[in-house]
Structure 1
Amino acid sequence: MADDDFTAALGTVIRPGDPDWDVARRFHSGIGEPALIARASSTDDVRAAVGFAAAEGLPVMVRGGGHSAWGTVPGGLTLDLSALADVSVDGTRVRVGGGAQWGAVARTLAAHGLGISSGDTASVGVGGLTLGGGIGLMVRAWGLACDQLVGVQLVTADARIVEATDETEPELMWALRGGGGNFGVVTRFDFEAHPLEGVVAVELGVEGDPRAVIRAMRDVMARAPRELTLTYMDVPPMDPSAPAGASISGVWAGADEARAREALASLLAAPGVVERSLGARPYPEVLLEAPEFDPESPMPGFVGGNTLLRELDDDAVEHLASFREANPASILFLRSLGGAFADVAQDASAFPGRDATWFAMAAAFDMPGVLSEEARRRALSEWNAIEALGSGVYGNFTTSTDPGWATRMYPAVTMARLGAVKRRWDPANVFSRNHNVLPA
């Protein structure tokens, strides 16, 4: 397809130098430098864009919510799906456009008394989160976002439209549940939603040495009903994404405050824990609003990472707490797993670490004047020791665009299987602006 034909077929193509270029290349988490941007308003637009990119040898970066660091990689074609954001409900079956964001989905579902375990943040895209797995606020109640996925409409690297389910394309569906955007552009996600009248939201303060509190939280979750998911976060004052200091937040899947309080009783009574709020709320209200990219105050780099911990034992607690203490400008994040997350067999999806009981992330802010070269080396060494305790890495929680990152995410047997699926659906690796799986 010639460039002029592509423009005519798609309708909205933006190039460097066009009047709206600077607006179009800015996304939620940064400013991109693609070769061109295609704004799709239909599946046919997506087909035209993919066909053009494949013919021209341009890698494709799909943009939904715009939180991915891959948007900062120069060159290629950015395919903006934000106009494909329709949400329709038929019973408990929900069809969601590939460019939708979770806040809009949650609001639509709440009107029907339904919910899907999504991420934490309203502006995060359905596509990126789901294809990467999706460790959400109700991961213990309903599993990952991708565990609720029952079908897709996919535009392939050769610009075909494929309707896939577990019955028609089981291996493709296996790969899409955690294998990222390696296999095509999903223009529609089909989910099976859950009845949900509301949630009980919990906010707890943490005072003093966090080790005892983290252990108390761990012990509560070892016997907690699966309706409860807890998150521990400790951030410095410089992080605009959350209030400074250590805190525990929780979501109970349902509006039963008495049951939620009963499950939390021993944690609420633990020394160093301060109850701030506990009450029923509509699920959309618990999703966070993340600040958009500010070119005057760009986000720093990070030294650290994340891991899926089989066990949050005392050794892991000490490693994590010590990392946070040794790096004053750092973040520590923990989320409970198990429950429905663990119900899915390891080989039933591409997502790693189904034996994990906790997700952990720790990272030092890397910016001039804050982290010296010696401190950077020390933080990296400390993090490597923590990651070694885990059974996998969660790609959605990294800002790295290192091409080798995918090999840290998946066990060798999973990577080999993903490579075989990639070979069938994208042998030329058109969809490479992601945690890239190479065709086997």
Structure 2
Amino acid sequence: MTDTTLSDLAAGTVVKPGDAEWDEARAFHSGIGEPTIVVRASSVDDVRAALRYAAAERLEVMVRGGGHSAWGAVPGGVTLDLDALDSIHVDGTLVRVGGGATWGAVAHTLAEQGLGVSSGDTASVGVGGLTLGGGIGWMVRAWGLAADQLVGAQLVTARGDVLELTDASHPELLWALRGGGGNFGVVTRFDFRAHELPSVVFATLAVTGDARPVLRALRDTLQDAPRELTVTYMDVPEMDPSAPGGASITACWIGDDEAAARAALAPLLALDGVTETELAVRSYPDILMEMPAADPDAPMPGFVGGNTLLRDLSDDAIERLASFREANQASVLFLRSLGGAFGDVAQEATAFPARNATWFAMAGAFDIPGLVHDGNRPLIQAEWDAIEALGEALYGNFTVSTDPALVERMYSPETVARLAAVKRDWDPQNLFARCHNIRPS
């Protein structure tokens, strides 16, 4: 470790193997990492020093916010922990959020002022990773992606320069941040345009029986539904007593109009096998899930499957998704409605793919001995591959794979070329490779 790059960091900021804090510092939400060092940045200058050190030592950088990313498990490199950079400042509808903040904290702060930003579903997810990957959330049909609400950012480049980004000052770089991942620097502050959000109506509908007619009705209902409504469909196996299995529809309606929400959901509530279990006005922060951190003594099983952004939830797609779930006992099926404001954004306006998609779909079998074995694993993957082929692109935020080949399934060739040109300008040495990596052109 060179004094010329890290000597200005406070004691305890740099954590190395053998230090008393090492096990704590290398743990992330989804597991235990094996980096070369961990830098716990408490200022922009700390970030700059860490990047100078990484460049001098030719070490790749993994930026950690909420810590849900699978990239924390890749050995070596510098883990740059932004946890302390978690400030949240509200000025009217402009919200400035530190790169280490989590969505739960942002939601609670904004709720105090009757505001909201469409984010993910989980309170502990980091603002940074979700936004840079796009960010499909509960208000995606009304407000678009988290990245669509991004109006500016503070970015530390691979050279250690600190840039203030707007569409006027750095349009191409900000374009790349809206869905291009963590390839272009360390975002130490995100600037969002928030929306009025006094409350939401949240509904949960239990589903029993054949999924096919329910999914068809869900598709047809959302084609003309008000933009205030976003829904998910989930069918999960019984994994343990604390996580009951079964199928359900959850719905989020912007505002406190229970009658309007109930009217929008009426076609679903009229179906055989669909039962209302909750429909009530709630605070937006209260609907965000709390996901327990990974238990090193009980690692999650592997996952055979994937996700895709579907232009249409066709009868063929419904049949394949329902059949996949039925054929694999320990499998999960998840769908989220898109369209509306998500589709209003021109494809070339952001790096995020498939603006023509109306549904996001994910399915996979948990790789549990006795249920999945070497003989049927390729067959399960082939079933999923046939489903993915119906879609437009893969959503990077919803994969736990670190396979570099996924980039070609996430973006069009034209988008990859444009991202690679931005990468060449701002990170020609590919310091930021611990992500769905765009290589410099």
| TM interval, short-chain normalised | over 0.9
Instruction: Tell me the distance in 2 between the aligned counterparts of 1:192 and 1:242.
Output: 36
Instruction: Tell me the distance in 2 between the aligned counterparts of 1:400 and 1:251.
Output: 29
Instruction: Tell me the distance in 2 between the aligned counterparts of 1:9 and 1:3.
Output: 11
2:362 is matched with: 361
What secondary structure is seen at the aligned counterpart in 1 of 2:164? strand
Give 1:109-188 correspondences, 5 Å limit: 109-188=110-189
Whether the 8 Å CA contact 1:34–1:77 is kept in 2: the answer is yes
What secondary structure is seen at the aligned counterpart in 1 of 2:339? coil
User: Letter of the aligned partner of 2:73 in structure 1?
Assistant: T
User: Letter of the aligned partner of 2:9 in structure 1?
Assistant: L
1:35 is matched with: 36
2:312 is matched with: 311
Instruction: Tell me the distance in 1 between the aligned counterparts of 2:241 and 2:54.
Output: 37
Q: Number of aligned pairs? A: 439
1:237 is matched with: 238
User: Letter of the aligned partner of 2:7 in structure 1?
Assistant: A
2:102 is matched with: 101
| Aligned-residue offset at 1:6 | 3.7
Whether the 8 Å CA contact 2:155–2:163 is kept in 1: the answer is yes
What secondary structure is seen at the aligned counterpart in 2 of 1:404? helix
| Aligned-residue offset at 1:258 | 1.0
1:430 is matched with: 431
What secondary structure is seen at the aligned counterpart in 1 of 2:434? coil
User: Letter of the aligned partner of 2:437 in structure 1?
Assistant: N
2:250 is matched with: 249
| Aligned-residue offset at 1:4 | 3.1
User: Letter of the aligned partner of 1:417 in structure 2?
Assistant: R
User: Letter of the aligned partner of 1:276 in structure 2?
Assistant: T
| Aligned-residue offset at 1:403 | 1.5
Whether the 8 Å CA contact 2:6–2:49 is kept in 1: the answer is no
Instruction: Tell me the distance in 2 between the aligned counterparts of 1:212 and 1:136.
Output: 25
Whether the 8 Å CA contact 2:6–2:50 is kept in 1: the answer is no
Query: Structure 1 residues 389, 241: CA separation in 2 closer, same or farther (over 3 Å shift)?
Result: farther
1:266 is matched with: 267
| Aligned-residue offset at 1:240 | 8.9
1:405 is matched with: 406
What secondary structure is seen at the aligned counterpart in 2 of 1:9? coil
1:370 is matched with: 371
2:52 is matched with: 51
Instruction: Tell me the distance in 1 between the aligned counterparts of 2:92 and 2:68.
Output: 31
Query: Structure 1 residues 230, 174: CA separation in 2 closer, same or farther (over 3 Å shift)?
Result: same
Instruction: Tell me the distance in 2 between the aligned counterparts of 1:136 and 1:128.
Output: 13
Instruction: Tell me the distance in 2 between the aligned counterparts of 1:403 and 1:313.
Output: 30
Query: Structure 1 residues 312, 158: CA separation in 2 closer, same or farther (over 3 Å shift)?
Result: same
User: Letter of the aligned partner of 2:364 in structure 1?
Assistant: A
Deviations 1:45-96 (A, max 9, x none): 0011011101110000000000000000000000000000000000000000
Runs of at least 5 residues in structure 1 that lack an aligned partner in the other structure: none
Query: Structure 1 residues 242, 232: CA separation in 2 closer, same or farther (over 3 Å shift)?
Result: farther
User: Letter of the aligned partner of 1:124 in structure 2?
Assistant: V
User: Letter of the aligned partner of 1:3 in structure 2?
Assistant: T
1:60 is matched with: 61
State the TM-score, normalized to the length of structure 2. Answer: 0.98
| Aligned-residue offset at 1:211 | 0.8
Taking only the aligned residue pairs, the percentage that are identical comes to 68
| Aligned-residue offset at 1:239 | 7.0
2:346 is matched with: 345
User: Letter of the aligned partner of 1:35 in structure 2?
Assistant: T
Whether the 8 Å CA contact 1:65–1:123 is kept in 2: the answer is yes
Query: Structure 1 residues 241, 24: CA separation in 2 closer, same or farther (over 3 Å shift)?
Result: farther
Instruction: Tell me the distance in 1 between the aligned counterparts of 2:292 and 2:408.
Output: 31
1:8 is matched with: 7
2:227 is matched with: 226
User: Letter of the aligned partner of 1:207 in structure 2?
Assistant: T
User: Letter of the aligned partner of 1:371 in structure 2?
Assistant: V
Q: Does 1:74 align with 2:75?
A: yes
What secondary structure is seen at the aligned counterpart in 1 of 2:8? helix
2:394 is matched with: 393
Q: Is the deviation greater in 363-372 or in 275-284?
A: 363-372
| Aligned-residue offset at 1:406 | 0.9
Query: Structure 1 residues 308, 219: CA separation in 2 closer, same or farther (over 3 Å shift)?
Result: same
| Aligned-residue offset at 1:5 | 3.9
1:382 is matched with: 383
Instruction: Tell me the distance in 2 between the aligned counterparts of 1:174 and 1:377.
Output: 38
- CA RMSD across the alignment: 1.1
1:323 is matched with: 324
User: Letter of the aligned partner of 2:315 in structure 1?
Assistant: D
Whether the 8 Å CA contact 1:241–1:291 is kept in 2: the answer is no
| Aligned-residue offset at 1:369 | 2.7
Whether the 8 Å CA contact 1:156–1:185 is kept in 2: the answer is yes
What secondary structure is seen at the aligned counterpart in 1 of 2:375? helix
What secondary structure is seen at the aligned counterpart in 1 of 2:7? helix
State the TM-score, normalized to the length of structure 1. Answer: 0.98
1:421 is matched with: 422
Whether the 8 Å CA contact 1:241–1:290 is kept in 2: the answer is no
User: Letter of the aligned partner of 1:8 in structure 2?
Assistant: S
What secondary structure is seen at the aligned counterpart in 2 of 1:405? helix
Instruction: Tell me the distance in 1 between the aligned counterparts of 2:244 and 2:171.
Output: 43
Whether the 8 Å CA contact 2:104–2:285 is kept in 1: the answer is yes
| Aligned-residue offset at 1:367 | 3.3
What secondary structure is seen at the aligned counterpart in 2 of 1:396? helix
Deviations 1:341-368 (A, max 9, x none): 0010001000001000000000111133
What secondary structure is seen at the aligned counterpart in 1 of 2:404? coil
What secondary structure is seen at the aligned counterpart in 2 of 1:46? helix
| Aligned-residue offset at 1:20 | 1.1
Whether the 8 Å CA contact 2:357–2:392 is kept in 1: the answer is yes
Whether the 8 Å CA contact 1:235–1:242 is kept in 2: the answer is no
| Aligned-residue offset at 1:391 | 0.5
Instruction: Tell me the distance in 1 between the aligned counterparts of 2:377 and 2:199.
Output: 44
Instruction: Tell me the distance in 2 between the aligned counterparts of 1:250 and 1:373.
Output: 38
What secondary structure is seen at the aligned counterpart in 2 of 1:263? helix
2:201 is matched with: 200
Instruction: Tell me the distance in 1 between the aligned counterparts of 2:4 and 2:68.
Output: 31
What secondary structure is seen at the aligned counterpart in 2 of 1:137? coil
